[in-house]
A and B are shown apart, each in its own frame.
Chain A
């Protein structure tokens, strides 16, 4: 990738090539910065402002702007890389927010929360942002001017605030923000689960008990195989949705991904913690930076139950005779 993220007027092959370059440089950049120190700092409320500024220098925060030349699917591929490194910056909110804000977009940080009856809740890194957006399940999007903040934290330890009595101004948006944010959690989760699979393979290969590596025990082999299966199926559930962004199939595709990846999250986090033993339960270890984030992402923008219901209602409305024709179309 050049100094700036831009990919205008490119052919299909060029697109694949520039996505590859984008993801490679993201891997390098996130990998260089997202070490244990940075992740621990994030839990103390220290924002990775230097890294955020670098992301802005590279233009990552404008990746999904309509004139960036990148496809929306490239963002979700990038978020897998972010999840893999547990990037402690709300990149999905920033990039999607800028896409929807148009001329009001922001180079410092945009964050997004969910509109409840009287508040904007679960706003990651709210105090570091300069523009705040609220979404509803129905897809309404608005900017929110700061009223009173109550600070809080996710169970991953990252700041996540609630904004009371803010002034709301509607933002015109011809996309479904709730669905795209739900999908962003899937992308992050798939990346983090991929990392966990790599970590757990390393763990059972290196760690010895009873005079041999854990990987020599059949019970351990089968447990890791179970993790690999869930990680693989999560990846397929995610990638399938990318071909149908902003089509009339998007909602059902997001539902499949969020529902199945939520279930995979439970199996994967449970098993990897079991295989890392007490060491993985310490704060000193890196494991929880991924597993706790996975538990957060699983709940945000509808957990598996929410999306199962959405998908199920959509299927049932078609009637039993349309079940198989529907499934056969959903590749």
Chain B
């Protein structure tokens, strides 16, 4: 059965809040359009300032330029950044996902090369998993890496690659052996330089009017031997080991937080009963989810792999994010100055279909939960 032990943030982590709030107040880029979605805002200067202040790679050992801190410290800093609507898009994937992956599976050389840059907030990764014919069915990928002298030659296409037009590297899941009866065998992870010869990045306009994601085409791209992460053929296991980090964090239920905040501003200190109820409903959902999410952070801290619990947090969190927009828009009074509310509501509403698609669709997550319950 699923397990969510209670967790209380240690006082030492709580003490970081005041510091990070000050940092945000000082460093938020002028004119930044605040939004709590982790993809909104690619601001290398802000990321580098975060890195310089020690707020990136917080759980990475000091020898690699990290903070040598625990998961709870990182949790506090990330949720503060999201709640403030700070631009975290540039460093988000490398800090959340690439750094722990390299620490766990990377070669010594990779750790020494990439981790200090990631912790400094100057090196940005995208994730190359989905393909034109491999969406939820990730094992169907066809991008191939063939052995050549001194490395691999990569051919294929990745799709929906968030930030590839802006970032430096792609953590790419490729086939190093042809598909066999074991569909999950024969895959490997390669670090591909997005500026390498033969890599073509084509931004794709999304329905928001921005191009958050891309198509990345590899044509005979040479990838050196040292770019293999972990063990050849072990890509599937490595990818699934990241899921606990990827799916349980505050970004899975705070994406629409600025809408909640602007609603509270709009209804004022003496709201109508309906408006108060809407605010209370939003808070009861958000806080219950946060406790679950913190519980998963506690398991990660203990070195566990709570993949099913993380899937559950993400599924519930994404549903709440969408519900929160419905609750907020119906509670918002029409006879007030709504400019700030309307703007963040519009931004969030346009992004909302992606909440339950990115990082594992609701359908995939519910399948994982069902397996955890012993139903499949």
| A contact residues vs B (CB 8 Å cutoff) | 201, 204-205, 215-216, 218, 220-222, 224-226, 228-229, 232-237, 239-240, 243, 255-256, 259-260, 263, 304-305, 307-320, 323-324, 327-328, 330-331
Contact = CB atoms under 8 A, between A and B. Distances in A.
B264 A256 contact: no
A151 B57 CA distance: 65
Contacts of B105: none
A235 B4 contact: yes
Contacts of A305: 277
Interface in B184-239: none
B17 interface: yes
A322 B51 CA distance: 28
Contact of B284 (A220, A222, A226, A255): A255
Interface stretch (B153-161, B349-357, B362-370): B362-370
A315 B264 CA distance: 8
Most chain A CB within a 10 A radius of its CB, from B267, B280, B365: B280
Contacts of A320: 261-262, 264-265
A240 B277 CA distance: 21
A107 to B, nearest CB: 34
Contacts of B281: 259, 263, 304, 308, 312
Given A259-B281, A312-B279, A319 B289 contact: no
A320 B170 CA distance: 40
A236 B264 contact: no
Contact of A233 (B7, B9, B279, B288): B288
B280 A236 contact: no
B4 A232 contact: yes
B154 to A, nearest CB: 34
A319 B265 CA distance: 7
B79 interface: yes
A215 B373 CA distance: 10
B6 interface: yes
A327 B270 contact: no
B83 A310 contact: no
A218 to B, nearest CB: 7
B370 to A, nearest CB: 4
Chain B interface SS verdict (over half): helix
Contact of B271 (A205, A226, A239, A312): A312
Most chain B CB within a 10 A radius of its CB, from A221, A235, A243: A221
A229 B369 CA distance: 9
Interface string B95-128: 0000000000000000000000000000000000
Contacts of B289: 233
Given A229-B315, A315-B280, A331 B271 contact: no
A233 B276 contact: no
B287 A240 contact: yes
B24 to A, nearest CB: 11
Given A232-B312, A239-B6, A311-B280, A222 B288 contact: no
Given A233-B289, A240-B291, A331-B8, A224 B283 contact: no
A221 B278 CA distance: 31
Contacts of B83: 324, 327-328
A243 B8 contact: yes
A307 B4 contact: no
A309 B279 CA distance: 8
Nearest to A226: B366
A210 to B, nearest CB: 16
A167 B134 CA distance: 73
Contact of B291 (A205, A255, A331): A331
Contacts of B257: 324
Given A225-B370, A229-B315, A328-B80, 4 more contacts: A228-B312, A243-B8, A311-B283, A313-B280
A221 B375 contact: yes
B330 to A, nearest CB: 13
A201 B373 CA distance: 8
Contact of B295 (A228, A236, A314, A323): A236
For the complex of A and B, the 10 pairs showing the least CB-CB separation, nearest first, are A312-B280, A312-B276, A308-B280, A311-B280, A312-B279, A221-B370, A320-B265, A225-B369, A225-B366, A259-B284
Given A215-B375, A259-B284, A233 B277 contact: no
Given A221-B375, A229-B312, A308 B288 contact: no
